[in-house]
Structure 1
Amino acid sequence: MTFGKLFSSNPRIRLAAQLSLSSLVPALPIIYWYQHAQKDRNQREHDVRTKLRIPAVQTVDDLLVEKCQPGDVILFDRRCEMCASGPPAALACILGKSILCDGDDGTRSVENGSYEHCGIVVPGFSTRQGAEHDPSNLCLLEATSGGGIVCRPLLTRLEMSRSRSVILMPLSCPGERRYEVNSDDVELSEKTQFLKEQTYSELVKFREKWLEDSKKEQYGRQHSYLSMMGSIMYLTGLYPTFPIPISPSAWLVVSALQDCGAAMKLNEKQSQQTRVEDFTRDGRFFEKDTVRLRPGWKFLSPVVMRESSV
């Protein structure tokens, strides 16, 4: 019997073929998009890796990284179509932007952008003397779909970003005169110096703990689906019932700020209900939808690290 006769005489085979075709048609543009996103990511990695760096000559990114310190929070207004970690990651990004982002409602310290992803600046892995004051040793700790909870050099992470906008939220501890005129010449008090050293050491411990836990629990496989569930729970109003974070990346950052003593110790449920947008509101003036810091701690005015209208 030929294939044509078998196809026409067996309704089950015919139905299976129709279902396969109907599922293949919408899958084609997704496959094309994913291949394009992967190609773009690989090209970006190649450009960053082979970038010509002239000794003693700083780029704009170098100068921006010098503004950062451990404990600072970085917000990303990502392009969902650029998510090269796969369709689930792109869908999680789309849901996060459409559900968890309020836009410019007049209460944010940031004028434009829909921020649904964030990370926290932590010390890098260098143990050489003076590394704690070296901007090149700074890393960004974040929860991702590709590798789970990852810690990557801050400069490389910034150069690799395809986000529409990247905002730095500088964290200032009690007594610190950061970004003020001649602030570099002002000697910190013993209390302020102690707080900064404590922040540094606690963030190192936090980094090691979560990197180990992520690898052990294979968090990278769960991130996208956990993000989608969090957005849907927020949309339906069921998030107080389920013990999952609304935004995994925001939950990670809040947990780090709590461990280093900057953020108020909330219960686990309150921490899990934090959104990325909440970092853009001053907890001294808002009771709701904000990140509450301990007395004396504050986020300074946002610094634009990357901005594009495209």
Structure 2
Amino acid sequence: MKKMASQRRFFQQFITNLSKRRTKLALQLSASAAVASMPIMYWSHNARKERAEREHEVATRIRIPSVQTIDDLMVEKCQPGDVILFDRRSECCAAGFSAALGCLLGKTILCDEEDGTRSVERGSYEHCGVVVPGLSDAQGAQHDSSNLCLLEATSGNGIVCRPLLTRLEMSRSRSVMLLPLSCPGEHRLQDVITGLEDESELSEKTKFLKKTMNDELIKFRDKWLTDSQSQGYENQHSYLSIMGAFLYLTNLYPTFPIPVSPSAWLVVSALQECGAAMKLNEKQAQQTRVEDFTRDGRFFEKNSVRLRPGWKFLSPVAMRETSVS
């Protein structure tokens, strides 16, 4: 009996000591995690604060009638179907740590070194959006550049459609590049610089193509905005971006049904729906990177976005100058 009581006291003491050690270890791990997370919390707070200040600045900006800013002039060069590339600053991602990590991995893994095959000289473009008709249905709104919006996949709000001018003014990217899309029979080479082509000079076939493209982009816009809200895409974008980058790095992306770059996949899908891009299978569309837009599909079969015959991207137009800061 004495032996059994001694053994029982031993086990009780052992369990008590083990519990104390576990508690101590848990406290140490919690303290370490708290210390490690402090810089992240400080960065996140500053990023959100800077974003809020930028939003307030843009919202309260004084607009002088008949006086155009550089952003106003840039928006006038855009048409539905154009693609806009962003060389973002990962440290400015206000949607959280996972969004910043996805941006950083995209720039590190998915952006190629400059090898002379790109249509842009500098920049690590890992995010993109497509210009679509705006939400206004007022008479003549389809020809008003101020009604243009940018459809893009984001971490904070899911798939969103925001006024193009506001999106440019809010951007803190190092570089923003416009890729003008030209349909068969359209002559935008000089118009991108001096203004838009007079629609009265377009052939009936070209007018039909442009109207069809606009209508399909509107349908695509409305469908994806609805799906994004119903499926909670804003909670998935960052993780899809991180997983896509890692799968591309390990060369496992052909075996998984997720996009390498969610923003590039959305834009390619939009171009396919409006009849501009070749109808690839779903897997090929999911393997598209933002970098692929910087190569001419007429000359590069791989790592490029291939358009249908007669469609082409014109020379890129810088909407923001590249900065090393």
TM-score range, shorter chain: over 0.9
- Which one of 286, 294, 297 corresponds to residue 283 of structure 1? 297
Question: What code does the residue aligned with 1:78 have?
Answer: R
Cα deviation per residue 1:14-61 (whole Å; 9 max; x = unaligned)? 111111111111101000000010010000001000101001111100
SS of residue matched to 1:152: strand
Aligned position for 1:93: 103
Match of 1:59 in 2: 69
1:243 corresponding residue in structure 2 = 257
Tell me what 1:229 maps to.
243
User: Could you tell me which residue of structure 2 aligns to residue 157 of structure 1?
Assistant: 167
Give me the whole-angstrom Cα distance separating, in 1, the residues matched to 2:116 and 2:176.
19
> Does structure 2 conserve the Cα–Cα contact (< 8 Å) formed by 1:103 and 1:112?
no
CA distance in 1, matches of 2:22, 2:124: 48
- The amino acid across from 1:137 in the alignment is N
Deviation, 1:180, is 2.5
TM-aligned CA deviation for residue 211 of structure 1 = 0.3
> CA separation in 2, counterparts of 1:146 and 1:101?
23
| Structure-to-structure mapping, 1:19-58, within 5 angstroms | 19-58=29-68
Corresponding position of 1:218? 232
How far apart, CA to CA, are the structure 1 residues paired with 2:219 and 2:26? Answer: 54
Select the structure of larger CA radius of gyration: 2
Counterpart-to-counterpart distance in 2, 1:307 and 1:136: 22
**Could you say which residue in structure 2 is the equivalent of 1:3?**
none
> Contact between 1:79 and 1:164, CA under 8 Å: does it hold in 2?
yes
The amino acid of 2:49's aligned partner reads K
The share of aligned pairs that are identical, in percent, is 72
Deviations 1:105-135 (A, max 9, x none): 1100000000000000000011111111100
Counterpart Cα distance in 1 of 2:245 and 2:23 = 40
Shift in Å at residue 179 of structure 1? Answer: 3.6
Give 3-state SS (helix, strand or coil) of 1:68's partner: coil
User: Which residue number in structure 1 is paired with residue 311 of structure 2?
Assistant: 297
Q: TM-score, normalised by structure 2?
A: 0.91
Equivalent position amino acid for 2:232 in 1:
Q
1:103-252 map, 5 Å:
103-180=113-190, 184-185=197-198, 187-252=201-266
The number of aligned residues is 305
Return the offset for 1:228: 0.5
Secondary structure of the corresponding residue to residue 227 of structure 1: helix
* CA distance in 2 between partners of 1:180 and 1:157 (Å): 25
Q: Deviation at 1:104?
A: 1.3
Q: What is the one-letter code of the residue matched to 1:157?
A: R
Structure 2 unaligned residues grouped into runs of 5+: 1-15
Return the TM-score normalized by structure 1.
0.96
- Asked if 1:260 is matched to 2:270, the reply is no
Name the CA distance, whole Å, in 2 between partners of 1:20 and 1:127. Answer: 55
Rounded to whole Å, the distance in 1 between the matches of 2:229 and 2:220 is 14
Give the partner amino acid of 1:235: L
| Equivalent residues of 1:103, 1:113 under 8 A apart | no
Pairwise CA distance, 1:287: 0.6
How much does 1:220 deviate? 0.3
> What is the alpha-carbon distance in structure 1 between the residues aligned to residue 92 and residue 263 of structure 2?
18
Query: Hey, what does 2:11 align to over in structure 1?
Result: none
Are the aligned partners of 1:101 and 1:277 in contact in 2 as well (CA < 8 Å)? yes
2-side partners of 1:48 and 1:179: how far apart? Answer: 31
Q: Which of 67, 82, 100 is the equivalent residue of 1:72?
A: 82
Q: Does structure 2 retain, via aligned residues, the 8 Å contact 1:120–1:253?
A: yes
Q: What RMSD, in angstroms, separates the aligned Cα atoms of the two structures? A: 1.6
1:184 shift after superposition = 3.0
For 1:269, which of 279, 283, 292 is the aligned residue? 283
- Whether the 8 Å contact between 2:123 and 2:322 is mirrored in structure 1 is no
Deviation at 1:137, TM superposition (A): 0.3
Q: Secondary structure of the residue that 2:131 maps to in structure 1?
A: strand
| Aligned amino acid, residue 258 of structure 1 | Q
